[in-house]
Amino acid sequence: MSLPDPESRLYRKAAGREAKLCYMGHVTMESRHGLAVAGMVTTAGGRAERSAAHAMLKAKRKAIGHRLTAGADKAYDTSDHVATLRAIDVTPHVAQNQSPTRTGKRRRSAIDGRTTRHAGYGLSQQRRRAIECIFGWGKQHGTLRKTKHRGVARVGAGFLLNLIAYNLIRIPKLIAA
């Protein structure tokens, strides 16, 4: 916690790295065209990413009215996250985390052959990398590199404004193609 910004939290990206005060921005991207369809800001924390994904996907699922798929990286390969997605009628196309643990044992992925055998799983794994373009654009051209606001509501408003700007720049390129 910080005195000038009590809503921000210390976050350490990896072991041995310096902890920084930060907010975390989360985006849901539609995979066909690479447009941002939902976004939110949370304070940094252990389960903030997964709980933000649950909230955004649940709202999107309710709005669409039919089953959808969600691609994600290895950090989302936990049994509780996969079970929660299946409970809200979302097919989890999460990258399998079968890397060795510190003790040398192999991790057991929550994603099994029911999901990985379909061609759509491979496509989701290819397209999920496009989300980095949204964050890259926001840092390079938008205002995501260093926020000028304090508080989750204001930082979130700036974050959503960056997502809107990204979509507005991306749409004419899609129309021209």
pLDDT in tens, 138-159: 999 998 888 888 888 999 999 9
d(CA 39, CA 121) in angstroms, rounded, equals 23
Task: Tell me the pLDDT tens digit for each residue of 5-35.
Answer: 676 666 666 677 777 778 889 999 988 888 9
Residue 56 in domain: yes
The model carries a pTM of: 0.80
Give the three-class secondary structure for 64.
helix
* Number of domains the chain is built from: 1
Residue 60 in domain: yes
Residue 4 in domain: no
Cβ contacts of residue 137 below 8 Å, gap of 6+?
166, 169
d(CA 69, CA 143) in angstroms, rounded, equals 30
Its domain, for residue 132, covers: 9-170
